Amino acid sequence: MGPISVQRVDYPDTYREFLKMFPDDRACAAYLIRLRWPEGFSCSACKVASATWSESRNRLECTICHHQTYLTAETIFHKTRTPLKTWFEAAWHITTAKNGMSAKTLERTLGISYRTAWMMLQRFRVAMVNKERAPLSGDVEVDETLVGGVRKGGKRGRGSSKSIVVIAIEIKQPKGFGRIRMRHIPDASSSSLVPFVCDVIAPGAVVSTDGWSGYDGLSEHEYIWKQTVLSSSDDPAHISMPGVHRVASLFDRWVLGTHQGSVGKVNTLADNFVS
């Protein structure tokens, strides 16, 4: 079975709506069936659209050839003993938590073991990455943010002991943001910044950066490069580069909420979180 494609789906906005929409595993299974076969069930063996018999362990049996199909096959729910309702409830909490969701918080919220909560979080995070994603295009802002390190004293800015995460975000017109790419880089030099841009942004895009010299190498590539020297601009950084500053703020909130701000210089969280 190929990847699931959903054109229009209604999702619960509040936890009360979630409980009404998904009161038990049967309701979750019925919802998953609608997602996987929006035009009606089609047997993978006989290739004929048919009704199904519901069997135990989330199996569907074709009424024509009696081939059995696992409802959860090729999904993150497959071959786990965790009930579908618990998976759905975890998905709702993870996607609605503004400060991120740690495995410990998920354990307490759902009343499950820490091992199960950690496993579920890892599967959800992997599922949210589209490996076949296309490069960013159109108008794209690029800038870096600093994560972790010493909070008081010490050197500030790009040369500090903090970890550097570079951000690229599509800017929609007349307003709004599109797709995002993030990556941990060892330093803010041209040898780190320019390869990131070339990896995640399609040629021909309009790339907006600040006046940092690390972006100077972009002039040698097929981009329309717009450079804004913030020190000589009348607008503050969050006005000149609104997209990356919004993402950086949300990323900081996620680090504080999920990891209590604990990010080391070596083996940094950003290596595992962004790409």
Q: Which carries the bigger pLDDT value, residue 62 or residue 137?
A: 137
Per-chain mean pLDDT for the chain: 81
Domains of the chain, by residue range, sit at 15-127, 139-273
Residue pointed to by tokens 């890892």: 122
166 band by pLDDT with thresholds 50, 70 and 90: very high
Q: What is the 3-state secondary structure (H, E, C) of 144-178?
A: EEEECCCCCCCCCHHHCCCEEEEEEEEECCCCCEE
124: pLDDT strictly greater than 60: yes
Per CATH, the homologous superfamily of domain 139-273 is: Ribonuclease H-like superfamily/Ribonuclease H (3.30.420.10)
Residue 147's pLDDT band, with cuts at 50, 70 and 90, is confident
Question: Is the pLDDT higher at 155 or at 250?
Answer: 250
66-76 residue pLDDT tens: 878 888 888 89
Rounded to whole angstroms, what are the CA distances from 226 to 173, 206, 243, 247?
16, 7, 15, 20
DSSP assignment string, 106-119: HHHHHT--HHHHHH
Contact indicator for 135, 122 with CB cutoff of 8 Å: no
